[in-house]
Chain A
Amino acid sequence: MKECLIKVGMASCGRAAGAEEIYKSAEEYIKQNNLNCRLIKTACIGMCFAEPLMELIMPNMPDITYGRITEEEVPKIIQNYLNQNPQEEKILLTKKSTSETTLQGEENEGIKKQTRIVLRNCGIIDPESIEDYINRQGYAALQKVLKEMSPEKVVTEILNSRLRGRGGAGFPTGLKWEIAANSRVGEKKYMICNADEGDPGAFMDRSVLEGDPHSVIEGMLIGAYAIGADEGYIYVRAEYPLAIKHLHKAIKDAYENNILGKNILKSSFSFDLHIKEGAGAFVCGEETALIASIEGKRGMPNIRPPYPAQSGLFGQPTNINNVETFANIAWIILNGAEEFNKMGTEKSKGTKVFALAGKIKKSGLIEVPMGVPLHHVIYEIGGGMKDDSPFKAVQLGGPSGGCIPASMLNTIVDYDSISQTGAIMGSGGMVVMDENTCVVDVAKFFLTFTQNESCGKCTFCRIGTRRMLEILTRITEGKGKIEDIHTLENLAENISKASLCGLGQTAPNPVLTTLKYFREEYEEHIIDHKCRAGVCNKLINYSVVADKCVGCTACTRVCPVGCISGELKKPHFIHQNQCIKCGACFNACKFQAIVKK
């Protein structure tokens, strides 16, 4: 029998959706039938909405990816595929259609709308196999750099590519490297990868580290060569155990293959790489706080200058880039800055990875060229809204970003266009919201987060965010005053001005953008004590419409606190003082006899 390759998507999200059962089922089937199949675990191909996924590859057959499968279906799918009679249901993707089969996957068109540079290997290779990476041009860029390019030439190439930092702020990477390369020449320097992805609702870096850890290591090596660093750290969130596991394996394999350590690939360049696990502090995403944390201190930002390039980790010149930035580097070296420049807009080149989530049909990880409009991302790639409820806003940039309303969906994806709306490009979290989302509540949510994560060093950030949160809480409870809006704006302005680091400077953005685009909702909460989305608990009540209630007891059975009383076949009653407003009864009632006001 011909050899068959079976891949199961086993990133964190796939595992949560049941991929381990799929893998076990496939493993068992292969063993029982003594099949000549190689079974591998890949990471995230980005189609989280269709997890769990399984891909089958065999000569003279199209590659087929199945989605939303159950463990019971696995043996049948494998059997039919090996018999060259693949099951037609649940096909997500097909590649290399042969003349005999013209099967089409439901996502074949969808994936063509993306351009995958950073995610080039994600979901395709076994992330724990350095051979898989090398087979797809892995470490070819490093080889090219070490053999043919001087450090200055590498810096020039990255400068010419006009790659900007993908961590959020968009500082030109080449410029950063140039400054670090020219700083204190000849002294010890450090290269750091910032993988402290703390932004709630963002999982781009996790997916890249889980799915293609070597691409990040290769980017770091090229950067280290360019600036003259011989030691580096990857600072990664401890909440990402799988990413850490894959990184450890990748680093071990790299050392064994003379890709890390002394005299890399027989050159005179040496580099040691360590992993540093974060301990749960959002502020450590800020460069100087991250450095403090690696040094074993509380992760508090420092005044710049001196910049890390002048005096960073342990007082030495240090360069820090984000995971996605590093994942771009090898591609640029191999394909050239010119090729990279063909994608994107005047000031933002290349692609951007986004984590689509929220009330969107196809949530997952996508990569698009800079310059496409937001509605293209949400409707063409994301498939539009999950339920029938209409689109209300999209949140970009997490706690540092803002909400962009429907009227501005023509905004294109590039650093400057998005900044103009008041949001920021950020690291790439994109959370879609519908009419059932209350923007005041969302603003309160982000302020709760930043207030909690403020390190406490700057007074405005420490106390100002707390005051803003108190006001927002008051508004969502129907106790707001109309002058609160002005106070919020005033506080926001001062917090931005008087905070040292990005956390404080951008913390008011979620409030400012919602005030800018949804001011009337704030006013409704304050004046009419009304939450039109029906989210703010203190402003809503559930009650039974006696005429419509048939007394089926469906609501009493689902009420988690037992606050609904009534006899069978007689109208029921909700005891307001015990009600926790969870909405379970509202969802359970088939007769629309429960109303939310």
Chain B
Amino acid sequence: MATDTQKLDKLIEKYAAKKGILIPLLQDIQNLEGYLSRESMKYVAEKMKMREAEIYGVATFYSMFRLKPLAKHIIRVCKGTACHVSGANNISTAIRNVLDLTDGEDQSADGLFTFIEVACLGCCSLAPVIMIDDKTYGKLTSEKVTQIVKSYY
């Protein structure tokens, strides 16, 4: 994606003269672009007179920042304790099978799905839980989740 420097300027301006603004600024850029591109980070560094490494360091430290664009749908598998003891690993395996992901891959080849395991979605009473985009699915089994993911194709 080509970086729209005008939009970035607007965001940077919004935070001008405030303290401790790097994280909210990066969050806003991610909301705008869907991820943090190399170009955007470089641009912010120049504008704010910071080192690029400093910005990259913050961006990679926090798990919410993504350095790659997202697919059409995001599947979040809850890996909280309650989900774990209720079989979240099997849910992950079943989803990875449907999406045909090999170890380490988090994006399906057709560009439809991004697969993320998250710490806790906070719906422990419905464990195991996943979220696809903004919709939460609970009390899952391998079969149920396979059906659910297939319904998005």
| A contact set with B: CB distance below 8 Å | 12-13, 15-17, 48-49, 51, 198-203, 206, 238-240, 276-282, 293-299, 314, 355, 357-359, 363-364, 395, 398, 429, 431, 433, 437, 442, 445-446, 449, 455, 537, 558, 560-561, 580, 582-584, 587-588
> Most A CB atoms within 10 A — which of B22, B120, B122, B141?
B122
Interface positions, chain B 80-129, Cβ under 8 Å from A, are 80-82, 84-87, 89-90, 93-94, 97-98, 118-127, 129
User: Chain A contacts of B146 at CB under 8 A?
Assistant: 560
Smallest CB-CB separation from A362: which chain B residue?
B125
User: Chain A contacts of B142 at CB under 8 A?
Assistant: 558, 560, 582-584
Closest 3 CB pairs of A and B: A201-B81, A48-B125, A357-B124
- Shortest beta-carbon distance, A546 to chain B, in Å? 24
User: Chain A contacts of B32 at CB under 8 A?
Assistant: none
CA distance A87 to B49 in the complex (A): 67
CA distance A206 to B122 in the complex (A): 8
The answer to whether B85 and A359 touch across the interface, beta carbons within 8 angstroms, is yes
23 A-B contact pairs sorted by A residue (CB < 8 Å): A12-B123, A13-B122, A15-B136, A16-B129, A48-B123, A49-B125, A200-B80, A201-B82, A202-B120, A238-B27, A281-B63, A296-B19, A298-B61, A314-B20, A363-B125, A431-B81, A442-B84, A558-B143, A560-B97, A560-B98, A560-B142, A580-B93, A582-B93
- Shortest beta-carbon distance, A210 to chain B, in Å? 10
A357-B81, A431-B82 known; A296-B122 Cβ under 8 A: no
The answer to whether B122 and A314 touch across the interface, beta carbons within 8 angstroms, is no
User: Chain A contacts of B21 at CB under 8 A?
Assistant: 296
User: Chain B contacts of A200 at CB under 8 A?
Assistant: 79-81, 84, 119-120
> Most B CB atoms within 10 A — which of A206, A239, A398?
A239
> Most A CB atoms within 10 A — which of B20, B89, B93, B127?
B20
The answer to whether A239 and B143 touch across the interface, beta carbons within 8 angstroms, is no
B69 contacts the other chain (Cβ, under 8 Å)? no
B58 contacts the other chain (Cβ, under 8 Å)? yes
Instruction: For the complex, count residues of B whose C-beta is within 8 A of A.
Output: 46
User: Chain A contacts of B123 at CB under 8 A?
Assistant: 12-13, 16, 48
Smallest CB-CB separation from B59: which chain A residue?
A279
Smallest CB-CB separation from B21: which chain A residue?
A296
User: Chain A contacts of B58 at CB under 8 A?
Assistant: 296-298
- Shortest beta-carbon distance, B65 to chain A, in Å? 6
The answer to whether A296 and B82 touch across the interface, beta carbons within 8 angstroms, is no
B152 contacts the other chain (Cβ, under 8 Å)? no
A279-B64, A429-B81 known; A13-B126 Cβ under 8 A: yes
The answer to whether B24 and A277 touch across the interface, beta carbons within 8 angstroms, is yes
CA distance A355 to B118 in the complex (A): 19
CA distance A13 to B21 in the complex (A): 32
User: Chain A contacts of B153 at CB under 8 A?
Assistant: none
A201-B81, A238-B64, A357-B127 known; A582-B90 Cβ under 8 A: yes
Smallest CB-CB separation from A50: which chain B residue?
B125
User: Chain A contacts of B27 at CB under 8 A?
Assistant: 238, 277, 279
Q: Which among A198, A359, A584 is the interface contact of B141 at CB below 8 angstroms?
A: A584
A16-B123, A200-B80, A358-B82 known; A561-B97 Cβ under 8 A: yes
- Shortest beta-carbon distance, B126 to chain A, in Å? 6
CA distance A200 to B84 in the complex (A): 10
User: Chain B contacts of A203 at CB under 8 A?
Assistant: 120, 122, 124
CA distance A398 to B141 in the complex (A): 24
- Shortest beta-carbon distance, A475 to chain B, in Å? 16
CA distance A302 to B64 in the complex (A): 23
A298-B61, A584-B142 known; A364-B122 Cβ under 8 A: no
Q: Which among A298, A433, A560 is the interface contact of B57 at CB below 8 angstroms?
A: A298
CA distance A246 to B61 in the complex (A): 28
Interface positions, chain B 18-75, Cβ under 8 Å from A, are 19-24, 26-27, 57-58, 61-65
CA distance A160 to B97 in the complex (A): 58
User: Chain B contacts of A580 at CB under 8 A?
Assistant: 93, 97
User: Chain B contacts of A395 at CB under 8 A?
Assistant: 81
Smallest CB-CB separation from B15: which chain A residue?
A296
- Shortest beta-carbon distance, A160 to chain B, in Å? 35
Q: Which among B20, B26, B64, B124 is the interface contact of A48 at CB below 8 angstroms?
A: B124
User: Chain A contacts of B125 at CB under 8 A?
Assistant: 13, 48-49, 51, 357, 363-364
The answer to whether B119 and A437 touch across the interface, beta carbons within 8 angstroms, is no
Extra pairs beyond A13-B124, A431-B85, A445-B84 (20, CB < 8 Å): A16-B126, A16-B136, A48-B123, A48-B125, A200-B84, A200-B120, A201-B81, A276-B23, A278-B64, A279-B26, A280-B63, A296-B22, A358-B81, A442-B81, A455-B61, A558-B142, A560-B94, A582-B142, A583-B90, A588-B143
